[in-house]
Amino acid sequence: MLNYIASDTLLKDRVILITGAGDGIGRAAAMDCARLGATVILLGRTLEKLESVSDEIESAGYGQPAIYPLDLRTATDEDYQELADVLKEEFSCLDGLLHNASILGQLTPMSNYESRTWRLVMHVNVTAPFMMTQALLPLLEVSKDASVIFTSSGVGTQGKAYWGAYCVSKFATEGMAQVLAQETENTSKIRVNIINPGATRTSMRAQAFPGEDPALNLTPKEIMPSYQYLLGPDSVGVTGQRFNAQEMQKPPKEEAGIVKAKENMTQ
Ligand SMILES: NC(=O)c1ccc[n+]([C@@H]2O[C@H](COP(=O)([O-])OP(=O)(O)OC[C@H]3O[C@@H](n4cnc5c(N)ncnc54)[C@H](OP(=O)(O)O)[C@@H]3O)[C@@H](O)[C@H]2O)c1
């Protein structure tokens, strides 16, 4: 959805948590959400990176962000509950949750894949976002229209040789988003959608394709329109959808009125 144009105040008064906010796409999303008026909660594992994003947001004159260092490899249910308690105390509600942090693991045949790495990838990419979402649902319920975004990949709908646990974790991410979208569709104001960023100039992309010229890929900043659309009020009523961030497309509401998750997820 490269053609969506956000107003400068699209995210005013919204509180948005971004995982993996210290680098790559998460960093760009944090800057962009702050630019559009949101209070952002920067969650990630490397404090220095989070501080650097926070400094950049403040020197640009945007609203003061919150920093929340958390390692998704080791965080427990109690840690996620503590996160929910802190956010409740500070902000009362949560309007956006962008599950962006992921790890790549190994690119190798399954016959060679280390089971320890497999478990780690599945934990960081699937189980941790599940645990976080579960803990934060009560805060999302308080928002007038909360948006949850799960981040998938081109290998999240089509298996690919040598992509191992990363590929499987992205299939699971898509499944998790669909389950939650159906569960919340009629009973809450929470919308749940999936973004496939497409090939984007980040360190994860460079790790996966070391021989590639990075200049061939769009920058994280350039793929922000679909994130803006899904985090802002223009996507109210859109749930259970999958968006390719690098496609030109009309917002679904324009195409077919309010989109119902059930109709779209059975296609
Ligand atoms: N780039 C692409 O071409 C592409 C394509 C398709 C899908 N995606 C998806 O887009 C999302 C962002 O990818 P990216 O390319 O921006 O990746 P990236 O540059 O590697 O950034 C990943 C972020 O996740 C954080 N993270 C990793 N492990 C963590 C942990 N255990 N706890 C907390 N935070 C952790 C990293 O923090 P540290 O820097 O501190 O480690 C970093 O901020 C991922 O879900 C990825 O699968 C990317």
- Distance (angstroms) between ligand 1 centre and the Cα of 30 equals 13
Does residue 22's CB lie within 6 angstroms of at least one atom of ligand 1?
A: yes
Is residue 174 in a domain? yes
Whichever domain contains 221, its CATH number is 3.40.50.720
Containing structural domain, residue 238: 15-265
What pLDDT does 251 receive? 62
Mutate to test the pocket of ligand 1, among 51, 54, 100, 170 (most ligand atoms within 8 A of CB): 100
4, 68, 166, 227: the active-site residue? 166
pLDDT by residue (tens digit) across 145-183? 999 999 999 999 999 999 999 999 999 999 999 999 999
- The domain total for the chain is 1
- Distance (angstroms) between ligand 1 centre and the Cα of 199 equals 13
Is residue 4 in a domain? no
Q: Is 245 helix (H, G, I), strand (E, B) or coil?
A: coil
What pLDDT does 253 receive? 58
| Number of other residues whose CB lies within 10 A of the CB of residue 266 | 7
Does 166 participate in catalysis according to the annotation?
yes
Is residue 138 in a domain? yes
Residue 56: exposure state from Cβ atoms within 10 A (0-12, 13-18, ≥19): middle
- Label the pairing between strands 191-196 and 242-244: parallel
Is residue 7 in a domain? no
pLDDT by residue (tens digit) across 212-234? 999 999 999 999 999 999 999 99
Find the angle CA(96)-CA(101)-CA(106) to the nearest 5 degrees: 155
- Sorted by sequence, the CB contacts under 8 Å of residue 108 that are 6+ apart come out as 162, 164
- Distance (angstroms) between ligand 1 centre and the Cα of 115 equals 21
